[in-house]
Amino acid sequence: MASIDKDSLTNTFLVAIVVCLVCSVAVSGIAVALKPQQLLNKELDQKQNILRAAGMLDEGAVVTPDGRSVEELFSEFSVHVVDLDTGQFIADRDPSLFDPIKSAKDPAQSTKLSNDEDIATLRRRENASIVYIKRVEGKLDKLVIPVRGYGLWGTLFGYLALDSDLQTISGLGFYQHKETPGLGGEVDNPKWKRLWPGVTLFDASGSADVRLVKRRSSSGSAAAAREVDALSGATFTTRGVQNLVNFWTGELGFGPLIHRLKAGNG
Ligand SMILES: Cc1cc2nc3c(=O)[nH]c(=O)nc-3n(C[C@H](O)[C@H](O)[C@H](O)COP(=O)(O)O)c2cc1C
């Protein structure tokens, strides 16, 4: 019987191809099997970010000190799709099936921004987005809006929460960005994030005018109430954060919704 040459070129390639095929089938199978869990984790992460912005969950915590879970806390929110131009809720649109960021890329579902309008460097703004509203005894207690805008290296994605007066910031947090750790990446520093609650959003004329400053105005002044310390050594990221907050709370963002809710409608 002719002996098989295990070390022949053909056999070496055959073994390599079989190993590759087995591995790729295994990896693809695992990826498909884990997809539902990945989606659940993504959803849980999103809920945690919303709750942290709203000041309802501490940084890094997954339950409150009194044992309330993310799901329990998040169930206090109602989720709405909102027409950004009118500020009206779109009742027949299911928020769980709607991705505002995806729709911003679709010319049929978004609006091109002019250079003057586009302070957050978005190019296009979606026509509809999603908001999270917490009510206590029927009265609005928190409004959380998704925000995004360009920093130095890419777009920062996050949530901004407003208190019941829709004038005072509850918190701001980013769940995705490309800024440099230690510089622009300090947007994630809990110490810096603690500077946001209590900051006033609108100036006397009602325009969104938060300022990230190197030197604060004299304490007690109206200007100081709208100021947050800039990130040192990260002027571009700082400017990006200032612009994205003012864009999304302004007239081209959630401004029409904020005015409508302030007037007690919805
Ligand atoms: C490797 C590297 C990474 C940087 N990352 C950031 C960043 O994430 N955000 C930012 O605003 N500036 C970043 N900078 C600094 C900017 O280039 C610029 O010098 C800085 O924003 C100026 O800020 P300052 O006026 O507060 O000193 C980085 C610089 C270097 C060399």
- Tell me the pTM: 0.89
Regarding the beta carbon of 236 and ligand 1, being less than 6 Å apart is answered yes
Tabulate helix, strand, coil % of the chain (nearest 5). 35, 25, 40
The residue contributing the CA closest to ligand 1 atom 24 is: 233
Q: What is the extent of the structural domain holding 258?
A: 70-262
Regarding the beta carbon of 234 and ligand 1, being less than 6 Å apart is answered yes
Question: What's phi and psi for 240, nearest 5 deg?
Answer: -60, -45
Tell whether 35 is covered by a domain: no
Question: What's phi and psi for 77, nearest 5 deg?
Answer: -95, 145
pLDDT digits (tens, 9 = 90+) for 175-201: 999 999 999 999 999 999 999 999 999
CA dist., res. 27 & res. 112, Å (int): 41
For the record, the structure tokens of 243 come out as 């612009």
Count of domains forming the chain? 1
Regarding the beta carbon of 232 and ligand 1, being less than 6 Å apart is answered yes
Tell whether 49 is covered by a domain: no
pLDDT digits (tens, 9 = 90+) for 119-174: 999 999 999 999 999 999 999 999 999 999 999 999 999 999 999 999 999 999 99
Taking 80 as the threshold, does the pLDDT of residue 5 lie above it? Answer: no
CA dist., res. 57 & res. 66, Å (int): 11
